[in-house]
Each structure stands twice: as C-alpha cells, then as structure tokens.
Chains A and B, each alone.
Chain A
Amino acid sequence: MAWSSLLPELARGTATTLTVSLAGIALGLVAGLALALIRTSHIPVVASAVAAYVSVVRATPMVTLALLVFFGLPALGLGLSPLTAAILIIAINTSVFQAEIWRASLLDFPRGQLDAAHAAGMTHAVAFRRIVFPQAWRASLPALVNEATLVIKGSPAVAVIGVVDLTRVAVRATTLTYEPMRPFLSATVIYVAVVMVLIRLQRYTERRIVAKYGTL
C-alpha cells in the first residue's frame, strides 16, 4: 500500500487507539479510586466482595474480557457499539489495577495526619478531600502513568472485537495488499513511540514530585 493511502489510515488508527485508551483510563481513574475506598473501608461484606472482584478481573486477559463484554452484555439485553464496548473494556481492566495503586497509597498514609485532621475538627469527607487525597494522588501519579503504558499495550485487544484501532488498521492494510511489512512495522513504530513518551512522562512526574516535595 502506498504511503499516501496508508498514512491517513495509520493516523486514524492511532487516534482511535489513543481515544479509547484515554477515555478508558479516565473512567478507570474514578472507578479505581471508588473501588480502593470501598476495599479499605472495613464495611463487612462489601469490602470483601470488592476484593474478590479486583482479584478476578486482575487475572482476566484483556481479550477474554473483550469477548465477555462485547458478546456477553448484548446477550443480557445490553447492546453496545464496538467503540463504547472498547472504552468499557479498557475501563474495567484498568480500574482494578488503578484500585490497587490507590489502595497502596491509602494504606501507606500516615495515621497521625488523619488523627490530626479529625482533632482539628474536620469531618471524614473534608479530611479526605483536603488532607488524604492530595498526598495519595501525588504518591500514585507515577504508578498511574506507568499503568497508562500497560493500557496502551493491552489496547489491541479491542481490535479483536472489530474496533479499527492502530492494530486493526495494519491488519486491514495487509489483507488488502498482501504486503505486511510496511503497515505492521509502521504501527509498531507508532506504539513504541507512544509508550516511550509515556515512560518519559512517568520519569518526569517522578522527578517533579521529588523536587517539589522531597519524596514521592
């Protein structure tokens, strides 16, 4: 396939990969924090249920999850477009890993600060918003950026359910021309570039946080 027709396709595929991944990460961020809060909450049955859920989803391959969501939910009467399904799949997957990241920084949180906040008259919610969250966020940020690289690397799973992401663009170009080298190598270069940028970003956030606050 000539570059003139391949390049726009690759650009579209990259855009789809990035859109789906970023939307999934954003949803996963909120859901992950919620899961972590419930899991660290000591509410009897609910906390263990969430722990079990996190454990199972963490062990589920992205492709298997993709098939479960894309074929399974419509069978239960919940029809989804491939693109919505893709975002949902990535969000479900990344939310449990983000939950573990949040949980780690919540468990690490010094108890004394919380007691001090309560002693100063803050309610639980205010203490969380003003004292716990900003510090937990800082501690989690580098790990969350690292999680983003894992999401990008897992995102080709959505190609399996027919979303025309970067991987599927390369497959389509190959089936059209029987010439696999150019599309696959180009797609690989783009993935590597995106992941390398994210790795740089992770190191940068780590340095910034350490420079500004002394520790992570």
Chain B
Amino acid sequence: MIANFGVVLGEWRSLMTGLVNTIWICALSGLLSLLFAVLVAQLLVSRRRAVRRVTQSGVDVLRAIPFLMLLFLIYYCLPTLGLRLSSWTCGLSALVVYNTAYFAEILRGAWAHLPREQEEAGRAHGYAGLRLYRRIILPQIFIAAGPVLGNQMITLVKNSAFLLVITIPDLTFMANQVQAIHFIPFETMLVAVALYWTICSTIEWGVRRLDRVAVVRGHE
C-alpha cells in the first residue's frame, strides 16, 4: 500500500493540473457569483413586490435543484435552444448560476438583520444610492455573512467535483484518470481527498480570520 502511494505521487503532475484547475475555476466562479449575488440581493429586497416575488421564487427553485441537474440542463438543453457552449463555459456558468442563488439568499438574510438605523444614519450623513450601499450597507452585511459565505464557498468546491461528468479535467477527473491507468483507486482517491481537505481547510482558516475582524468591529 505504501508503494502504491509512491506510484500516486509519481503522477503528481496530473494531480497538480487537476488541483490547479479546481482552484481557479472555484475561485473565479466564487468571485463572479459574489458579484452577481450583490445585484440579485438588491432585487430580493426591492420595494416592488412583484420584483421581490419573482426573484425570490427563482432563487428558491435554483436552491432546490441538485447541482448536477443544473449542469446537465446547461450542458444538454442549451444546445437544443441554439446556444452551444464549450464544456469549460458550461461548467463555469453552472457554478456561477447555482452559487449566485445561494450567495444572494445569504446576503439577503444578513441584510434583513442589519439594524435599520445604520441605513438611516447613513442617509442623515448625506449618503445615498450607490455610495450608501457601497460604504455603509455592503461592508456590514459581508462581515455579518462571512462565515456562512465561507461555508457556501466550501460547498462550491465540493460541487465543482461534478464537473468531471462534462470532462473538465478538475482534481477528481485527473485522480480518476490516474487510478484508471495504474489501477490503484483507493490510494489515488485518498490523495485527492487529502487535497480537497487542504482547500476546504484553507477556506475555513480564512473565514476564522475574517471572524476576528468581525468581532473587533463589534459583530458577534
């Protein structure tokens, strides 16, 4: 068994390629999702009932779909509507669409718990529109939602493993290739698991750092 781990480590190039692909596609889709989520969260707290309702149903339905289903919908169904995307674009857009819904819901929740006085005080000091949003509201809901956003980011990393079914060479895909070549599935997948654990632990560590900032600024 120890010798088999040696064989797996001999394939470190393949595994590193997979690891790097997983990291960058998760980082990029996480960032894009967060940007879109900020916009969608606006719609979720809109003063217009119809806008709020429609957006909320959309978000709720997306959050009820398994990620693999959404991935297949984009991968198989969009081409029949005349939209042909590369598998990378499919994977990235599936991750972004899916996580935007989750992130938006998290931000909405944090926003609902933000004391109204914060916004009122901001307005009294002459902040309005985008500036009020950017300087007063957003930083606070980000700090308050930090841990939950971090957990969702970990879920994103774990969902990204589904991308192997549309042949994106992520960590799981590459590990699966390595195990198929040398026929040492147990050892190879264990190494992949260890690498996923490292990614997720790093995110958790980042969240704890953020949490300390939150405590200093008076958030529980």
Chain A interfacial positions (CB closer than 8 Å to B): 55-56, 58-65, 67-68, 71-73, 75-76, 149, 152-157, 159-160, 167, 170-171, 174, 179-181, 184-185, 187-188, 191-192, 195-196, 199
Contact = CB atoms under 8 A, between A and B. Distances in A.
A191 B160 contact: no
Interface of B: 61, 64-69, 72-73, 76-77, 80, 154, 157-162, 164-165, 171-172, 175-176, 179, 183-186, 189-190, 192-194, 196-197, 199-201
B64 A75 contact: no
Nearest to B165: A160
Contacts of B172: 61, 63-64, 67
A191 B201 contact: no
B185 A72 contact: yes
Of the candidates B154, B158, B162, B179, the one having the most CB atoms from chain A within 10 angstroms of its own CB is B158
Contacts of A67: 172, 175-176, 179, 185, 189
Contacts of B165: 160
B64 A191 contact: yes
Contact of A167 (B72, B186, B192): B72
Given A64-B189, A153-B64, 16 more contacts: A55-B201, A61-B160, A64-B193, A67-B172, A67-B175, A68-B189, A68-B193, A72-B186, A75-B185, A156-B67, A157-B162, A167-B69, A181-B77, A187-B69, A192-B64, A195-B64
B69 A156 contact: yes
A181 B185 contact: no
A59 B196 contact: yes
Mostly, the A contact residues are: helix
Given A68-B190, A75-B186, A184 B77 contact: yes
Label chain B's interface by main secondary structure: helix
Contacts of B179: 67, 71
Contact of A56 (B76, B193, B199): B193
Contacts of A153: 64-67
Contact of A196 (B64, B171, B184, B189): B64
A106 B197 CA distance: 26
A55 B197 contact: yes
Nearest to A155: B66
